Amino acid sequence: MSKIYDAIEHAEKDKRLSREELRLFETRSTQRVTMQRESRTVQSNGKVSISARAMEEYNHLKQSIISLIPTTRPRALLFASSTEDEGNSNVVASFSMVLASAGERLLLVDANLRNPVLHELFAVGKNHGMAELLSGQETLQQVIKPTHVANLSLVTAGSQLQNPSALFEPGKTDAIVRLTKAEADWVLFDAPVISAFNDAIVLSPGMDGVVLVVRAEKTRWEVAQNARERLESGKANILGVVLNDRKLRIPGWIYRRL
């Protein structure tokens, strides 16, 4: 079994995950994938500001991912959370901006047809997106939208549907992932919560890797472990965990040397 969830396996069952219990969720390569609490504001023009400390953490995340899948380029990654309010969409949006600011060609895909927010974060129209692509109504080229961020394009969620699950079929989603990889150096997918929907499980086998987002001192270990088990049952390549909203209890310079 991967070391990634050792901390969860040994945590008290009635307690929320803390920084100490997680021991920051080691990845398979024993590198730590963590996320510092961010100072972020979403402005009317859609721009998302990221603090310098958060930028450093996102760059750490980038290097951790590259070390785990060093020969794959472009890389298609799925970001998912076990339950609501983990901050998954904000994490994937901010990470995409950090990659794009470094000159990487980035395609961000909102596969969260249940509760899409990426169109709001980047101030673009929601319609004509992933829903139309999955249903075959439009092509990938027709649904890719430019954003205010250089090097960053977005596929929004598209039309609101009553039953999005009907669109998520393994063969269809795998083909879409392959198509998106021809458009960018990195393709990042935002997915709905794992505890309530199967969409992320269907998407995950076609990805080069999956990153699970959990919120520090909120996510219960049973919920996070169930999310892991569901991803593993779908043959997902789980790379690691982003510990979002982490509060430092010791000085940052000491923490970075741990």
Pairing of strands 238-244, 209-215: parallel
Task: Please report the pLDDT score of residue 139 as a whole number.
Answer: 96
The distance between the two most distant Cα atoms of the chain, rounded to a whole number of Å, is 53
| Residue 132 covered by a domain | yes
Q: What is the domain-level CATH number for residue 232?
A: 3.40.50.300
* Structural contact between residues 237 and 208, judged by C-beta atoms closer than 8 angstroms: yes
Provide the domain limits for residue 249: 3-36+46-255
Q: Which pLDDT score, from 0 to 100, does residue 191 have?
A: 93
pLDDT-flagged residues of the chain (< 50) = 1-44, 247-258
Number of domains the chain contains: 1
Q: What is the pLDDT of residue 11?
A: 29
Look at residue 21 in the predicted model and tell me its pLDDT: 40
Does 234 reside within a domain?
yes
219 DSSP 8-state letter: S
Any domain includes 246: yes
* Residue 57 covered by a domain: yes
Alpha-carbon gap, residue 107 to 76, rounded angstroms: 9
Reading the block at residue 256, the tokens are 């970075």
pLDDT at res. 106: 96
Q: Is residue 193 part of a domain?
A: yes
Is 215 inside a domain boundary? yes
Given this model, what pLDDT does residue 47 score? 53
Res 13: pLDDT: 33
User: Global pTM?
Assistant: 0.79
- What is the pairing mode between strands 75-81 and 186-190? parallel
Q: How far is CA 97 from CA 6, 34, 58, 61, 186, in A?
A: 31, 17, 10, 13, 11
Euclidean distance between CA atoms 234 and 95, whole angstroms: 25
pLDDT at 43: 38
Tokens of 116: 């899409």
Q: Is position 41 within any domain?
A: no
Question: Per the structure block, which two tokens stand in for 125?
Answer: 């129209």
